[in-house]
């Protein structure tokens, strides 16, 4: 076991004089000699003493491959230093036992560099790449960009959780940040073989209120569409489509294909170097071709995705694509309902090219327009977002299909169990109605079923028509 070294100041104290401190023992002895005591044995007892306020501990280990690891720290007491030595040596022994050696890169890599490299590799080509880029940048700033990965502890993760709550991040946002962290630590363990624990896993986080079903309250729907017709009429078909087939905002609307933070930083550094040297930046043919091939936007519904003859609409990508197996198709195809045709046909007729994006807005403009419409409605509508349209639409769609599996095919939900619990749960009132509907004679139950399906006037008209039929084949 390593031994702590006392690095505390040396103090010269003589009777009738103010004590004086020195960092080095040699300087303290020189001062004592200048006071007439060149020999410490001749000086009064306790004239020179080293304090015990700073102890340095150093540990150096090598594995069989010759990789060397050095750990050091400074502590306020000998007991703290000895405790650190014991824990650190036990940790290094554990690494040697379970990993067979040291990963030198792990010893020096910062949290920021490790997290940035993980983001570039793990999220490459995924729709969440740009979104998680901001989370990675925030995490690096909050945790400390110069902090070594190996020095992070569970206390740092708890402090991060507390910071997110203090900054008033929603429960969903907090969980999104920690999803990045838990994935990062799993990658560090499994792919990089770093000797780390998943310290971000299991942190107690608030639960989002996603299970709360949002539906229209009172005349909200009428007030919303009235506000949209005044301020943003271009939004009406977008909202109507989402309500009809539970489309997500990003499935209907394009989003900017922004460059990654790493690319922007590299371009800025290249521009600065070019300015300093006085030489213009010259792209290679490969770089120029890649830049030209890079699409300006991602996602969004296009006219080419609509098959009017087959009466279908195809989304080329959706949120759950990255979790699908290699044998599963990306995106999803849904039927083109009568209402969807009514919404899309006028837009198609007005399109001069009949190709390209159906809607020219971006996800940000849609969010802003929807939020403003809710705020400016009379009276204002609260706690309603564009994503609420998906929840309202899913609830309505659940009443038109037979089971969660069919609903999931239409809505793109991955978790069928969630659909079952949220949208197919039978309420006490519904059970009571089912029992009531099962009472009475066959004719009584038939009339109730017709009235429920067609309304009172429709049921009467249907029965009147049946009475005029002489045989079933006379039905139109």
Tens of pLDDT along 367-401? 999 999 999 999 999 989 999 999 999 988 988 88
Same domain assignment for residues 236 and 354: yes
Same domain assignment for residues 168 and 117: yes
pLDDT of 422 reads 79
Same domain assignment for residues 332 and 410: yes
Q: Select from 287, 292, 319 the least CA-distant residue to 126.
A: 319
Number of structural domains (the chain) is: 4
Residues 6+ away with beta carbon under 8 Å from 386: 239, 242, 249, 366, 367, 370
Same domain assignment for residues 85 and 231: no
The CATH number of whichever domain residue 306 belongs to comes to 1.10.443.10
Extract the residue ranges of the chain whose pLDDT is less than 70: 127, 209-213, 258-272, 274-276, 279-281, 283, 287-288, 290-294, 321-323, 425-435, 437-438, 443, 471-476
Same domain assignment for residues 415 and 434: no
Same domain assignment for residues 244 and 386: yes
The answer to whether residue 200 sits within a structural domain is no
pLDDT of 4 reads 92
Q: Select from 317, 156, 343, 315 the least CA-distant residue to 239.
A: 343
The answer to whether residue 269 sits within a structural domain is no
Same domain assignment for residues 304 and 413: yes
Tokens of 306: 């609509």
Please give the residue range of the domain that contains residue 13: 5-96
Same domain assignment for residues 248 and 174: no
pLDDT of 71 reads 86
Classify each residue of 365-393 as buried b or exposed e, where b means 16 or more C-beta atoms within 10 Å of its C-beta.
ebbebbeebbeebeeebeebebebbbbbb
pLDDT of 416 reads 83
E strand or H helix that includes residue 56: strand 55-62
Cα–Cα dist 436/440, whole Å: 9
β-partners of residue 332 are: 315
β-partners of residue 11 are: 21, 49
The average confidence (pLDDT) of the chain is 85
β-partners of residue 10 are: 22, 50
**Domain boundary, last residue among 384, 406, 423:** 423
pTM of the model: 0.54
pLDDT of 448 reads 74
Cα–Cα dist 184/172, whole Å: 18
Residue 183: asked if its preceding bond is cis (omega within 30°), the reply is: no
Q: What is the C-alpha end-to-end distance of the chain, expressed in Å?
A: 96
pLDDT of 296 reads 76
φ, ψ (nearest 5 deg) of residue 201: -80, 140
Question: For residue 357, how many other CB atoms are within 10 A of its CB?
Answer: 17
Same domain assignment for residues 172 and 247: no
Residues 6+ away with beta carbon under 8 Å from 454: 461, 462
The answer to whether residue 228 sits within a structural domain is yes
Cα–Cα dist 401/221, whole Å: 23
Same domain assignment for residues 31 and 170: no
The answer to whether residue 357 sits within a structural domain is yes
pLDDT of 257 reads 73
pLDDT of 182 reads 95
């Amino acid at each position: 076991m390593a031994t702590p070294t006392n690095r505390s100041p040396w103090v010269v104290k003589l009777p009738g004089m103010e004590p004086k401190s020195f960092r080095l023992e040699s300087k303290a002895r020189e001062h004592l000699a200048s006071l007439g005591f060149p020999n410490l044995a001749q000086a009064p007892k306790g004239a020179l003493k080293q304090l015990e306020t700073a102890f340095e501990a150093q540990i150096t280990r090598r594995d069989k491959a010759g990789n060397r690891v050095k750990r050091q720290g400074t502590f306020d007491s000998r007991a703290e230093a000895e405790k650190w030595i014991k824990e650190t040596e036990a940790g290094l022994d554990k690494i040697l036992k379970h990993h067979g050696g040291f990963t030198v890169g792990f010893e020096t890599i910062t949290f920021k560099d490790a997290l940035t490299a993980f983001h570039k590799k793990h999220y490459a080509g995924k729709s969440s790449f740009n979104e998680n880029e901001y989370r990675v940048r925030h995490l690096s700033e909050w945790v400390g960009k110069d902090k070594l990965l190996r020095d992070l502890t569970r206390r740092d993760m708890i402090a991060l959780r507390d910071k997110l709550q203090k900054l008033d991040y929603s429960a969903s946002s907090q969980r999104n940040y920690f999803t990045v962290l838990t994935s990062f630590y799993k990658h560090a363990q499994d792919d990089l073989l770093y000797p780390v624990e998943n310290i971000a896993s299991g942190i107690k986080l608030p639960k989002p209120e996603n299970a709360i079903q949002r539906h229209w309250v009172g005349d909200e729907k009428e007030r919303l569409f009235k506000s949209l017709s005044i301020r943003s009429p271009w939004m009406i078909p977008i909202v109507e489509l989402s309500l009809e087939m539970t489309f997500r905002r990003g499935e209907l609307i394009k989003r900017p294909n922004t460059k990654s933070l790493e690319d922007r930083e590299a371009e800025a550094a290249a521009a600065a170097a070019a300015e300093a040297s006085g030489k213009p930046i010259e792209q290679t043919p490969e770089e120029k071709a890649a830049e030209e091939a890079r699409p300006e936007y991602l996602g969004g519904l296009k006219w080419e995705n609509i098959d009017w003859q087959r009466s279908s609409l195809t989304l080329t990508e959706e949120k759950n694509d990255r979790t699908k197996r290699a044998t599963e198709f990306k995106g999803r195809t849904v039927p083109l309902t009568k209402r969807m045709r009514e919404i899309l046909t006028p837009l198609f007729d007005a399109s001069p090219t009949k190709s390209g994006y159906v809607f020219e807005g971006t996800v940000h403009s849609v969010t802003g327009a929807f939020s403003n419409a809710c705020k400016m409605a009379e009276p204002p509508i609260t706690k309603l977002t564009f994503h609420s349209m998906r929840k309202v639409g899913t609830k309505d769609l659940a009443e038109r299909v037979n089971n969660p599996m069919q609903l999931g095919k239409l809505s793109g939900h991955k978790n069928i169990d969630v659909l079952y619990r949220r949208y197919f749960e039978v309420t006490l009132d519904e059970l009571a109605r089912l029992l009531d509907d099962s009472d009475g004679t066959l004719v009584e139950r038939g009339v109730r079923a017709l009235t429920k399906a067609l309304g009172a006037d429709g049921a009467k008209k249907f029965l009147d028509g049946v009475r005029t039929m002489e045989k079933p084949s006379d039905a139109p």
